[in-house]
Chain A
């Protein structure tokens, strides 16, 4: 299952026509202690680069963007009770939402793990 990354520090796992989206370990480290996550409603239409979710640390609220176009199929309900899961397991249990892919071609514009690591190292 290939994993892609955005320059806004989201990751996206693609499995057929469905993708799972979260924020990277680098992103959670920058945000610090996460105290609230607002995931999109099922059925929400997302546009690549548009607002998809909000993550609130002790310090501030930050937007999470949709990496590609598509429709939300599920938000991670566990984050409501345990937002700190994004800190402890950002690229696993701390996923934000699942979505369909309207245009798989959009994945070509994203980074792979190696490319993302180089991107972070250069920050």
Chain B
């Protein structure tokens, strides 16, 4: 074997790689891919998304399609959501759980009529695929749509911008993009390109996620960015936006050691599934929902200007009581914020705790999240 036949594990490029670089994107390695961390600057990009419309390339995320008889019931053996009750065109936030109820990933599940479409985190998508394949019967087909890209268009002007793109509903009578409500999805045609659009995202703003074939991504992104309301936004602002929205990030605020009750994601445990007690880790999770978990994810406001970041220990007096799992300067708040885990009796808003940063204690206060109100469009004509 020649030496040059040894293939090292290289950072992969996504379909928009050249596009990001041409737009001035500063590329970093993330989840095994070259991704733009920022273009003009995280602060400006963050604020632009909150007031106009930001375009995010999230093509590193895993797009999976499950098909087969009783696929909803099969998926329910691995997640705690009521998947069977999900109507075509509707989606739900859910969690892939291990047998002890630890969180393996968080994901979006969409009923696309004849199949279920999942969007999972890029960093763990290969593990997710293995977990699904290992635990679903051979009757269920899993298709990894790795030839598709995923864009997120987020912000108050996203709906106007996407409307001007001229997406045609695939069937007469199916909703226009402006008629979708939060957590609704539908297929469209864009100049002959099949495009799936959902009204969803992870910034707290109104907005859309758009799945389309990789070869059409550049033309679609160019058409969006030709509109003055739209700018490309990097991973840096994506992180600060979701933090302000109080949304947990997998691998940081959620891990296999943490269950959904501890992560304050009880809403993802559907009523019917609670009654049936038949999801992975049900005993632990239902116990924690009933009695309160030993520790809980909370938001923290931070006194002063010193950012409190992931890994900072939390104290009550001399006692180390918890840890910060995400934190940083929040551009729309104008101050540092954080989220982390504290014992149940400290999880009450208003509780004072201290975070240790470089040997100094910074005063923090437990607070309800989100830090910036969500602006999801839940009802049409409201």
Chain A residues within 8 Å of B, Cβ to Cβ: 32-33, 35-36, 38, 54, 56-61, 80, 83
A83 contacts B305, C-beta separation under 8 Å: yes
Q: Known contacts A56-B329, A58-B328, A59-B236; is A33 also within 8 Å of B41 by CB? A: yes
B42 contacts A33, C-beta separation under 8 Å: yes
B240 contacts A58, C-beta separation under 8 Å: yes
A122 to B309, CA, bound (A): 32
Partner pick for B306 among A32, A33, A36, A57, CB 8 A cutoff = A36
Q: Known contacts A32-B236, A35-B329, A36-B329; is A59 also within 8 Å of B305 by CB? A: no
CB neighbours (8 Å) of B46 from chain A are: 58
Interface residue ranges of B32-85 to A (CB < 8 Å): 37-38, 41-44, 46
Q: How far is the CB of A77 from chain B (nearest CB, A)?
A: 14
Q: How far is the CB of B24 from chain A (nearest CB, A)?
A: 12
A38 to B44, CA, bound (A): 23
A34 to B42, CA, bound (A): 10
Q: Known contacts A32-B41, A32-B236; is A58 also within 8 Å of B305 by CB? A: no
Q: Known contacts A58-B236, A58-B329; is A35 also within 8 Å of B41 by CB? A: no
B328 contacts A59, C-beta separation under 8 Å: yes
Q: Closest A residue to B330 by CB, please name it.
A: A58
> How does the 8 Å CB contact mask read for B128-167 relative to A, with 1 for contact and 0 for none?
0000000000000000000000000000000000000000
A44 to B309, CA, bound (A): 26
Q: Closest A residue to B44 by CB, please name it.
A: A33
Partner pick for B43 among A33, A36, A38, A80, CB 8 A cutoff = A33
Task: Give the number of residues in B that approach A within 8 Å (Cβ atoms).
Answer: 18
Partner pick for B331 among A36, A58, A80, A83, CB 8 A cutoff = A58
Instruction: Please tell me if B358 contacts chain A, counting CB pairs below 8 Å.
Output: yes
Q: Known contacts A58-B329, A59-B328; is A35 also within 8 Å of B236 by CB? A: no
Sampled A-B contacts (30; CB under 8 Å)? A32-B42, A32-B43, A32-B236, A33-B42, A33-B44, A35-B329, A35-B336, A36-B305, A36-B306, A36-B307, A36-B329, A36-B336, A38-B306, A38-B358, A54-B358, A56-B306, A56-B307, A57-B42, A58-B42, A58-B43, A58-B46, A58-B240, A58-B328, A58-B329, A58-B331, A59-B236, A61-B307, A61-B309, A80-B305, A83-B305
A32 contacts B305, C-beta separation under 8 Å: no
Q: Closest B residue to A37 by CB, please name it.
A: B305
Q: Known contacts A58-B331, A59-B37; is A35 also within 8 Å of B240 by CB? A: no
A29 to B305, CA, bound (A): 21
CB neighbours (8 Å) of A38 from chain B are: 306, 358
With A33-B41, A58-B328, A59-B236 known, 10 other A-B pairs at CB within 8 A are: A32-B43, A32-B236, A33-B329, A54-B358, A56-B306, A57-B42, A58-B236, A58-B240, A61-B309, A83-B305
A56 to B328, CA, bound (A): 9
CB neighbours (8 Å) of A57 from chain B are: 42
A75 to B46, CA, bound (A): 31
Q: Closest B residue to A84 by CB, please name it.
A: B43
Counting chain A CB atoms within 10 Å of each CB, the highest count among B37, B42, B240, B331 belongs to: B42
Q: How far is the CB of B372 from chain A (nearest CB, A)?
A: 15
A110 to B305, CA, bound (A): 33
A32 to B37, CA, bound (A): 11
CB neighbours (8 Å) of B236 from chain A are: 32, 58-59
Counting chain B CB atoms within 10 Å of each CB, the highest count among A54, A58, A60, A83 belongs to: A58
Q: Closest B residue to A51 by CB, please name it.
A: B358
